[in-house]
Amino acid sequence: SEVVVWREFDRAKLYMADLESCLHYLLRVELAAHKSLAGAQLKTLRDFVTVVSKLFPGRPPVRKLLEMLQEWLANALPFWLLISGIFLTNHVKWVGCQGSRPELRGYPCSLWKLFHTLTVQASTHPEALVGTGFEDDPQAVLQTLRRYIQTFFGCKECGEHFEAMAKESMDSVKTLDQAVLWLWSRHNAVNSRLAGHLSEDPKFPKVPWPTPDLCPACHEEIKGLDSWNEGQVLVFLKQYYSSSNLVDTYSA
């Protein structure tokens, strides 16, 4: 069996290795399980790839690859042709998404990070979506991620939970900033539901995030109760999930 080497990392940073490993896993494992795609599934994948190719703050070769993937999909070339030739990283390499055991964290952790990065990029660089048909709809990115989860995410139970949250409140999102905060608050709802669950990594307990050490200004006390300062949370998310907080240590 593989020897697991712990990679030291900074919890205040976002690692490109996690986001690239996410794309690698998503394309080469999750999507590769589908022998062929057509109709609504193909449309879901196309929209997802469009959003990622426009918003992912990747290194130049990865951006180029995503652009090519987007063009190929737009021309409906057989899906297998693409996947077989795609080379992101040799294998997945988790850093900020390492688990203390191999079955913990990894891909689902990186998918959350990718999703937060995409909603933050859409709100800070809305011009990136001009020409895609997604530019005038503040829910467009969230709805695309929602359809990806519903259609392709390997954890079906997670998909059902996410769909229930989306049905309940995604419609209330009216601006790109609200989209960032919607995903943040829903992720915290998932964290609190899963706290103490078997899937929780003891080294990474599920707690309301960002914790006070990462963002003291995000927390306030109102009448003795801990509550969020959402304005500060938004500022923090826009910094944490920005390209300037992404580090290339451990990326290929």
Residue given tokens 């919607």 in the structure block: 182
Question: Toward ligand FAD, which CB reaches closer, 84 or 100?
Answer: 100
The minimum distance between CB 85 and ligand FAD, in angstroms, equals: 27
State the Cα angle at 170 between 234 and 227, rounded to 5°: 40
Q: With respect to ligand FAD, which residue has the nearer C-beta, 54 or 105? A: 105
Q: How far is the CB of 130 from ligand FAD (least distance, A)?
A: 26
Minimum separation from the CB atom of position 229 to ligand FAD (A)? 15
Q: Name the 3-class secondary structure at 14.
A: strand
> What single letter denotes the amino acid at residue 78?
P
How far apart are alpha carbons 212 and 118 in whole angstroms? 24
Q: Write down the least CB distance from residue 12 to ligand FAD, Å.
A: 9
d(CA 168, CA 148): 18
Nearest distance from residue 211's CB to ligand FAD, in Å? 9
Q: At closest approach, how far in Å is the CB of 13 from ligand FAD? A: 10
Copy the structure tokens of residue 93: 């390499």
The residue assigned the tokens 């997802």 is 48
Q: Which of 246, 203, 228 is closest to 116 using CA atoms?
A: 246
- E strand spans, 130-251: 219-222, 225-228, 246-247
Burial of 19-32, coded b for 16+ CB within 10 Å and e otherwise, reads bbbbbbbbbbebbe
Residue length of the chain = 252
Please identify, using beta-carbon distances, which residue of 74 and 195 lies nearer to ligand FAD.
Answer: 195
- Give the span between the Cα atoms of 166 and 152, in whole angstroms: 16
Residues binding ligand FAD (CB under 6 A):
97, 105, 108-109, 111-113, 116, 149, 155, 157-158, 161-162, 184, 187-188, 190-191, 194, 197, 199, 201, 204, 209
Closer to ligand FAD by Cβ: residue 129 or 183: 183
Nearer to ligand FAD, 126 or 159 (CB): 159
Handedness of CA 18, 247, 54, 78 (dihedral sign): negative
Q: How far is the CB of 61 from ligand FAD (least distance, A)?
A: 25
Q: Which is nearer to ligand FAD, 79 or 152 (CB)?
A: 152
